[in-house]
């Protein structure tokens, strides 16, 4: 369980969160999304303990121990590591800081990362895999992943996602992902949280969200429905509506289509920019 209560946080004079509350139960795979700069990565960093709230608290399940960082695997978009160290030195540092007996470097070897290579010489994909290996070595209870997986090639992304799937199959891992592109993670996600101006604008299970957001293609805007965003064509417009319910199906003119997660989030985010 991750329990965020009364959280306030600012970067200098720029306020990101004010009295923010969120609860994520154990074992849930949660996706946080929203427009750029809304505070998604900041929220992840606050959960990881690398940022400290100005006010409020973030509490974890007691089984994570007095210092939850021991059981939090955090892969940030900055991929922060000591870049002047070699891969083997970075692993040794990680091992000693966490008091780990050993770190399995199978992924590193598999992806042809040399142990004598400096971290700064690695590509973004290789650094992501190194991070993943370090994080997996903790046997994390909470896994926080920023949107870095979109910067890596298809093969490494597949390896990355396979590792998460394997972890989820082994135990009740809580996963919080920050993302704007979802085609390869949609099947993992259980809950979607959309942030807007430092607050939760949408908080739904993925099934509920898919049932409530639809695309209506027609010549005119549907009455009595809130349109998140629209795309205009010569002969018709696509209206992304929310909340939709099945009782409306017969009353709306035009074609009604289901949406995948990427389209749903694009519709919400498109509305923000409109």
* Residue ranges in contact with another protein by CB under 8 A: 11-12, 45, 48-52, 67, 69-70, 72, 74, 76, 78, 80-85, 89, 92-94, 96-98, 119-120
Nearer to another protein, 94 or 215 (CB): 94
Nearer to another protein, 119 or 267 (CB): 119
User: Minimal distance in Å, beta carbon 120 to another protein?
Assistant: 8
Nearer to another protein, 70 or 236 (CB): 70
User: Minimal distance in Å, beta carbon 152 to another protein?
Assistant: 19
On the 0-12 / 13-18 / 19+ scale of CB atoms within 10 A, 217 is: middle
Q: Which is nearest to 235 in space by CA: 213, 249, 256, 254?
A: 254
On the 0-12 / 13-18 / 19+ scale of CB atoms within 10 A, 98 is: middle
Q: Angle 154-170/124-136 helices, nearest 10 degrees?
A: 10
Strand partners, 65: none
User: Minimal distance in Å, beta carbon 45 to another protein?
Assistant: 6
Nearer to another protein, 96 or 224 (CB): 96
Tokens standing for residue 159: 């390896």
Nearer to another protein, 83 or 153 (CB): 83
User: Minimal distance in Å, beta carbon 125 to another protein?
Assistant: 18
Residue 250 phi/psi, 5° resolution?
Answer: -75, -20
Q: Which residues contact 59 (CB under 8 A, 6 or more apart)?
A: 1, 2, 3, 4, 5
User: Minimal distance in Å, beta carbon 8 to another protein?
Assistant: 14
């Amino acid at each position: 369980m991750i329990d965020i209560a009364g959280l306030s946080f600012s970067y200098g004079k720029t306020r990101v969160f004010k009295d923010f509350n969120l609860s994520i139960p154990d074992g849930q795979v949660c996706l946080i999304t929203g427009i750029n700069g809304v505070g998604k990565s900041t929220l992840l960093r606050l959960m990881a303990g690398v940022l400290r709230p100005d006010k409020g608290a973030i509490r974890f399940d007691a089984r994570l121990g007095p210092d939850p960082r021991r059981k939090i695997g955090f892969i940030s978009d900055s991929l922060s590591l000591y870049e002047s160290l070699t891969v083997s030195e970075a692993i040794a540092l990680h091992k000693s800081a966490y008091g780990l007996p050993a770190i399995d470097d199978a992924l590193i070897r598999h992806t042809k990362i040399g142990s004598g290579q400096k971290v700064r010489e690695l590509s973004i994909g290789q650094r992501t895999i190194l991070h993943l290996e370090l994080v997996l070595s903790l046997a994390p209870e909470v896994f926080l992943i920023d949107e870095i997986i979109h910067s890596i090639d298809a093969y490494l992304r597949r390896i990355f996602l396979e590792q998460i799937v394997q972890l989820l199959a082994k135990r009740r891992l809580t996963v919080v992902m920050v993302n704007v592109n979802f085609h390869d993670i949609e099947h993992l996600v259980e809950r979607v949280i959309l942030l807007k101006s430092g607050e939760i604008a949408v908080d739904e299970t993925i099934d509920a969200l898919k049932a409530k957001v639809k695309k209506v293609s027609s010549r005119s805007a549907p009455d009595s429905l809130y349109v998140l965003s629209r795309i205009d064509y010569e002969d018709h417009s696509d209206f992304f509506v929310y909340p939709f319910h099945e009782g409306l199906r017969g009353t709306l003119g035009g074609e009604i289509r289901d949406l995948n997660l990427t389209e749903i989030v694009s519709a919400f985010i498109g509305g923000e920019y409109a």
